[in-house]
Amino acid sequence: MNLNLLFSLAAILVLGCVGYFVPNAGLQMFFGVILPYIAVLTFLCGVIWRVMKWAKSPVPFRIPTTCGQQQSLPWIKQNKIDNPSTTTGVIIRMFFEIFLFRSLFRNTKAEIKDGDKISYEWEIFLWVGALAFHYSFLTVLVRHLRFFFEDTLLKEKLFFVGIIETLDGFFQIGLPIVLISGFVLLAAVLFLLSRRVLNPQVKYISLAADYFPLLLIAGIAATGLWMRYIERVDVTAIKQITLGIVSFNWTSIDVMKSVSGTFYLHLFFICTLLIYFPFSKLMHAAGVFLSPTRNLANNSRMVRHINPWNPEVKVHSYESYENDFREKMIEAGLPVDKES
């Protein structure tokens, strides 16, 4: 029995029921306006609080994991990205780490392929899945900007939203244009989830806290797709609500009542995610920036790194050493500081 998975599923179901049924019981104002404010506030404050908490602890030692040749003699070619000795190198290393998941990509190497070839390639999918997940999530987020800004502003200032939408809709399958990112997101989440359920090792290490956010994001993606392609919800009304939230000029309760329950479910899931985010492993998004094995240059033999709490310690001095062994040292012809 996978109790952790069941627990998470149950939690999502309960949340789903709350999000779908409760708003229509006359609580549209709370779920459509107040809760999103609370959620965004919690998210922002929570993330800042967590990062501050991390940053409060010093980095006493310079401990980069060196994944390539060090800076050494001038004729030895340094791997300036995987073993950086300068800030520029570190920035490039962090760029690859954050945008391309370089370390995770290393996972895919299999060199000696004896026998069954295909099964060895399997691991590349963790990297592909992770990339697909994060980038489609980002695209979906950017596309949602049009719900929060007036069309004119969007066209002038936030032209990249349009660009992304064009790229995103590249695969035209009839009408409406299937905006591919939503599907990619859902597929990637389901893939990551299936890994946790099917791969015995990953299953063994998975906690409820690992299933829950995946299920939650799956819920968000599914409700979004449902609204767009199946239910065809009233986008104008929704946009009125969202624009109202952003401009602190809330729309009328009638408009809010006219919107489908799926929208409130979608929004409720998002609020849950925002509130949950700072208190969970999702903080890895910020953690990766602060990881001392990645964000430091390997230059501690060139420049002294300072430890703010460098302790005073008792060292067994040469003097006491010589006191212990003086006679024997003299006898052996070893130089001593004090003759007897």
Partner 1 sequence: MGLITLIEEKRSKIVKEWFKLTIKTYPKEKSDFFKKKKDSMANPVGNTLSKSLEDILKGLTDDVENNEMAKILDPSVRLRAVQEFAPSSAVSYIFFLKNVIRDILKKDLTKEIEKELLIFESKIDRVSLIAFDIYMGCREQIFTYKANHVKERTLKLLEKADLLCEVPEVGAEIIPHNVYLNGGFDDK
Partner 2 sequence: MVDVVKPEEMIKIDPTPPSTNWMDVPPDFSPGKFPYPSQAKSLEAVGFPNAREWSPADEDWKLPENWQQIIHEGFKERLDKYRSLKVFMDSCVRCGACADKCHFFIGTGDPKNMPVLRAELLRSIYRNDFTTIGKMLGKFAGARKLTPAVIKEWFSYFYQCTECRRCSVFCPYGIDTAEITMMARELLHLLGLSIHWIMDPVSNCNRTGNHLGIQPQNFKEIIEFFCEDIEEITGVTLNPSFNRKGAEVLFITPSGDAFADPGTYSFMGYLMLFEHIGLDYTLSTYASEGGNFGLFTSSEMMKRLNAKMYREAERLGVKWILGGECGHMWRVINQYMGTMNGPANFLEAPVSPITGTKFENARDTKMVHIAEFTADLIKNNKLNLDPSRNDHLKVTYHDSCNPARGMGMLDEPRFVLENVCNNFHDMPESTIRENTFCCGSGSGLNTEEIMDLRLRGGLPRANAVKYVHEKHGVNMLSCVCAIDRAVLPPLMDYWVPGVDVCGLHELVGNALVMEGEIEREMDLRMEDLPGKEGDSDE
Per CB under 8 A, contacts with partner 1 among 200-219 are 200-201, 204
* Residue 304 DSSP symbol: P
Cα 87 to the center of its chain, rounded Å? 23
Q: Is 309 in the site for partner 2 (CB under 8 A)?
A: yes
Q: Is 125 in the site for partner 1 (CB under 8 A)?
A: no
Site of tokens 């090792």: 201
Cα-Cα-Cα-Cα torsion 27, 28, 30, 36, nearest 10 degrees, comes to 150
Residue 73 near which of partner 1, partner 2, none (CB within 5-8 Å, type-dependent):
partner 2
Question: Applying CB under 8 A, which of residues 24, 86, 258, 291 lies at the interface with partner 2?
Answer: 291
Q: How far is the CB of 327 from partner 2 (least distance, A)?
A: 10
CA angle, 298 then 299 then 302, to 5°: 160
User: Contacts with partner 2: how many residues (CB under 8 A)?
Assistant: 99
Q: Is 303 in the site for partner 2 (CB under 8 A)?
A: yes
Distance CA 31, CA 241 (A): 11
Distance CA 75, CA 324 (A): 47
Answer whether 36's CB lies under 8 Å from 267's CB.
yes
Q: Which two tokens stand for residue 8?
A: 């998470």
CB under 8 A: which stretch of 84-92, 148-156, 175-183, 199-207 binds partner 1?
199-207
**Quick one: angle between helices 261-276 and 208-225, nearest 10?**
150
Q: Is 9 in the site for partner 2 (CB under 8 A)?
A: no
Q: Is 168 in the site for partner 2 (CB under 8 A)?
A: no
Q: Is 300 in the site for partner 2 (CB under 8 A)?
A: yes
CB under 8 A: which stretch of 3-11, 223-231, 250-258, 259-267 binds partner 2?
3-11
Contacts of 155 (CB under 8 A, 6+ apart): 162
Q: Is 333 in the site for partner 1 (CB under 8 A)?
A: no
Q: Which two tokens stand for residue 280?
A: 């969970």
Residue 175 near which of partner 2, partner 1, none (CB within 5-8 Å, type-dependent):
none
Question: Applying CB under 8 A, which of residues 3, 77, 114, 310 lies at the interface with partner 1?
Answer: 114
Site for partner 2 in 80-139 (CB under 8 A): 82-83, 85, 97, 101, 103-104, 106-107, 109-112, 126, 130
Q: Is 266 in the site for partner 2 (CB under 8 A)?
A: no
- Own/partner long-range contacts of 159-164 (Cβ < 8 Å, ≥24 apart): 164/139
Question: Applying CB under 8 A, which of residues 18, 40, 79, 135 lies at the interface with partner 2?
Answer: 79
Residue 303 near which of partner 2, partner 1, none (CB within 5-8 Å, type-dependent):
partner 2
Question: Applying CB under 8 A, which of residues 208, 228, 257, 258 lies at the interface with partner 2?
Answer: 208
Q: Is 111 in the site for partner 1 (CB under 8 A)?
A: yes
Q: Which amino acid belongs to residue 13?
A: L
Q: Which two tokens stand for residue 256?
A: 């809010």
CB under 8 A: which stretch of 18-26, 148-156, 219-227, 273-281 binds partner 2?
273-281
Answer whether 262's CB lies under 8 Å from 21's CB.
no
Q: Is 331 in the site for partner 1 (CB under 8 A)?
A: no
Q: Which two tokens stand for residue 236?
A: 């104008």
Q: Which two tokens stand for residue 318?
A: 């040469």
Distance CA 166, CA 161 (A): 9
Question: Applying CB under 8 A, which of residues 207, 235, 246, 253 lies at the interface with partner 2?
Answer: 207
Distance CA 48, CA 62 (A): 25
Q: Is 120 in the site for partner 1 (CB under 8 A)?
A: yes
Residues in touch with partner 1 (CB under 8 A): 110-116, 119-120, 200-201, 204, 324
